[in-house]
Amino acid sequence: MRAWLDDFKLSHPLVIAGPCSAETEEQVLAIAHELKNSDVSIFRAGIWKPRTRPGGFEGIGEIGLQWLQKAKAETGLLMAVEVANAAHVKMALEHDIDVLWIGARTSVNPFAIQEIADVLKDTDKIVLLKNPVNPDLSLWLGGLERLYNAGIKKLGVIHRGFSTYEKSKYRNNPEWQIAIDLQNRFPDIPLICDPSHIAGKRDMILEVSQQALDLNFDGLIIETHTDPDHAWSDAAQQVTPDALKQIFIDLRVRKETDEADDFNSRMNKLRTQIDDIDAKLLEILGKRMKVAEKIGALKKEKNVAILQSSRWHEILGKMVLEGEEKGLSEEFILKLFKAIHQESISHQEKVMK
pLDDT in tens, 39-74: 999 999 999 987 666 767 878 999 999 999 999 999
Cβ atoms of residues 107 and 130 within 8 Å: yes
| 231 and 326 part of one domain | no
CB atoms within 10 A of CB 127: 24
Which of 198, 220, 250 is the endpoint of a domain?
Answer: 250
| Alpha carbons 162 and 175: distance in angstroms, whole number | 7
Whether 242 and 346 share a structural domain? no
Res 40: pLDDT = 96
Q: According to the model, what pLDDT value does residue 76 have? A: 96
Q: Which of 20, 117, 105, 25 is nearest to 65 (CA)?
A: 25
Calculate Rg over the CA atoms of the chain: 24
Domain that holds residue 103: 3-250
**End position of a domain, from candidates 250, 282, 300:** 250
pLDDT at 240: 98
Domain of 282: which CATH number? 1.20.59.10
Query: Could you tell me which residues come within 8 angstroms of residue 65 by beta carbon, excluding any fewer than 6 positions away?
Result: 47, 81, 91, 92, 94, 95, 97
Same-domain status, 282 and 317: yes
Residues 142 and 291 in one domain: no
Pair 158, 131: CB distance under 8 Å: yes
Residue where one domain finishes, among candidates 250, 281, 311: 250
Answer whether 0.85 is exceeded by the pTM.
Answer: no
Residues facing 46 on adjacent strands: 21
Is-contact 291 337, C-beta < 8 A?
no
Same domain as 339, residue 305: yes
Name the domain count of the chain. 2
DSSP 8-state symbol, 224: B
Q: Give CA–CA dist 285/291, Å, rounded.
A: 10
DSSP per-residue codes, 140-205: HHHHHHHHHHTT--SEEEEE--B--SS--SSSSB--HHHHHHHHHH-TTS-EEE-HHHHH-SGGGH
Asked if residue 256 belongs to a domain, the reply is no
Shared domain for 147 and 225, answered yes or no, is: yes
| pLDDT tens track for 224-281 | 999 999 999 999 999 999 999 999 999 988 776 677 777 887 888 888 889 889 988 9
Residue 107 and residue 176 in one domain = yes
**Residue 216 counted as domain residue:** yes
Percent of the residues in the chain that have a pLDDT greater than 90, as a whole number: 74
Say whether both 200 and 302 belong to one domain.
no
Q: Which pLDDT score, from 0 to 100, does residue 256 have?
A: 66
Asked if residue 255 lies in contact with residue 240, where contact means CB atoms within 8 angstroms, the answer is no
- Is 255 within the bounds of a domain? no
Give every residue of the chain whose pLDDT is below 50, as ranges: none
Same domain, 338 and 296: yes
